[in-house]
Amino acid sequence: MAQTPPRPTPCTTDPDTAGFWAAAQQEQLVVLTCRQCRSVVHLPRPRCTQCGSEEMEWTVVSGRGHLYSHTVVYHQIHPAFPVPYTVVLVSLEEYPEVRYTGYLPGAPDLVAGVAMNVFFESLDGVSLPNWRSA
């Protein structure tokens, strides 16, 4: 069996999303919010999609959430992810309309709505927010 290559690492230098990865490096989970109208902008954009302000800031959240959806991948596609593995979408406790993605090896027993907690794993020096059952 061929050796599993490392998982792809995220780009952490994009002007619109770098703050997310900088916070993750400090083991903090953040969402982009507007200083003017306090709206959450997710995915991050260069301006507030509600009021048009360009004064945006990263707001720290608790890292608690609930399972929104999940899939167990059984068909091997990307060589860095041996099957089976599970992709989760987690809805944040403070901002339920904001979802982040997580990766779990194997096929753990998961039911929509279960409490999930963020944790941070290191991928080739990049701190990656990930999720597991609370």
Partner 1 sequence: MTPVPGERASGTGCSIVGVGTTEYSRASGRTALALATEASLRALDDAGIKAAEVDGIVRCTDDVVLHNDLIETLALPNVEFWAHGGLGGTAPSAMIGYAVNAIRSGSAKVVLAYRSLNGRSGRRVGAGYGSQQAVVAGGEEGGRYDEYFLPYGLTTAGQMYALIAQRHMTEFGTTREQLGHIAMTCRRNAQSNPAAQMYGRPMTMDDYFNARMISSPLGLFDYSLETDGACAVVVTSTEQGRDSKTAPIAIAAVAQGGSAGVQAGRTLSSLMRKDLLTFPSHLVAENLYRRANLGPSDIDVAQLYDCFTITVLVQLEDYGFCVKGEGGPFAASGALDTTLPINTSGGHLSEAYMHGMNHVVEGVRQLRGESTRPVPGAEVCLVSSGAPPATSAMILTVDR
- How many amino acids of this chain bind partner 1 (CB under 8 A)? 47
Of 26 and 46, the one with the shorter C-beta distance to partner 1 is 46
Residue 99 to residue 87: CA distance in whole angstroms = 12
At 26 the three-state DSSP class reads coil
Q: Which residue has the tokens 């599993």?
A: 4
Candidates 1, 3, 6, 109; binder of partner 1 (CB under 8 A) is 6
Identify whether the C-beta of residue 87 lies closer than 8 Å to the C-beta of residue 101. Answer: yes
| Angstrom distance (rounded) from CA 59 to CA 62 | 10
Q: Is 51 in the site for partner 1 (CB under 8 A)?
A: no
**3-class secondary-structure state, position 25:** helix
Nearest distance, CB of residue 57 and partner 1, angstroms: 17
In the region spanning residues 22 to 41, those forming contacts with partner 1, defined by CB under 8 A, are none
- Is position 15 an interface residue for partner 1 (rule: CB under 8 A)? yes
Q: Is 52 in the site for partner 1 (CB under 8 A)?
A: no
